[in-house]
């Protein structure tokens, strides 16, 4: 670009040698201003293009970060859902176990109550059995006493008969 400006300036200076010095200086100055304006316009266009490329790179980077964040959030949500499902499964299993324990405990209580009811219902039978047992013991004692008395009275009769025969 600088060569273009210099070349243009030289060409103009050679062409305007015939014109007046002031006209030449004015034209050179105008050409230099035009060259500088063209250079400035090109520099601004390149700066704008560079800025657009930088903005595009930043936008792409933002989109990439946003996509990564969404993916990370989705993975975290899936992990959280899996953990919640596992907690619920464990809790359900524990609740089922506790329900079974309560049912077993209730069944044991029910059976114990039925046993008590049966015992109360048969209390008279137990009392009668105890009375019969007591009566049987009394009869055994009475029988032992009677047999001892009989043995004694038999021995007495024998001794009395033996004494009479003498």
Contacts of 27 (CB under 8 A, 6+ apart): 12, 16, 19
Q: Is the pLDDT of residue 98 over 70?
A: yes
Q: Is the pLDDT of residue 1 over 80?
A: no
pLDDT in tens, 105-148: 999 999 999 999 888 878 888 888 888 999 999 999 999 989 88
Q: Which has the higher per-residue pLDDT, 86 or 24?
A: 86
pLDDT tier for residue 16 given thresholds of 50, 70 and 90 = very low
Q: Please tell me the predicted confidence (pLDDT) of residue 21.
A: 79
pLDDT in tens, 59-92: 999 999 999 999 999 999 999 999 999 999 999 9
Q: How many residues does the chain have?
A: 166
Q: Please tell me the predicted confidence (pLDDT) of residue 157.
A: 86
pLDDT tier for residue 2 given thresholds of 50, 70 and 90 = low
Q: Please tell me the predicted confidence (pLDDT) of residue 7.
A: 59
DSSP annotation string for 106-161 = HHHHHHHHHHHHHHHHTHHHHHHHHHHHHHHHHHHHHHHHHHHHHHHHHHHHHHHH
Q: Is the pLDDT of residue 3 over 90?
A: no
> What is the sign of the dihedral through the CA atoms of 60, 66, 71 and 72?
positive
Ranges of each domain in the chain = 2-151
pLDDT in tens, 30-60: 999 999 999 999 999 999 999 999 999 999 9
């Amino acid at each position: 670009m600088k060569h273009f400006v210099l070349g243009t300036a030289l060409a103009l200076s050679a062409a305007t040698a015939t014109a007046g010095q002031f006209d030449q200086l004015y034209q050179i100055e105008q050409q230099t201003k035009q060259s500088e304006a063209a250079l400035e316009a090109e520099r601004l266009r390149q700066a704008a293009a560079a800025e657009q490329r930088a903005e595009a790179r930043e936008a792409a980077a933002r989109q990439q970060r946003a996509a990564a964040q969404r993916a990370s959030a989705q993975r975290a949500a899936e992990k959280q859902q899996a953990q919640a499902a596992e907690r619920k499964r464990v809790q359900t299993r524990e609740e089922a176990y506790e329900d079974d324990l309560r049912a077993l405990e209730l069944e044991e209580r029910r059976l114990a109550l039925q046993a008590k009811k049966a015992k109360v219902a048969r209390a008279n039978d137990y009392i009668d059995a105890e009375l019969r047992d007591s009566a049987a013991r009394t009869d055994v004692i009475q029988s032992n006493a009677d047999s001892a008395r009989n043995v004694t009275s038999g021995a007495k009769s024998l001794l009395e008969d033996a004494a009479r025969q003498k």
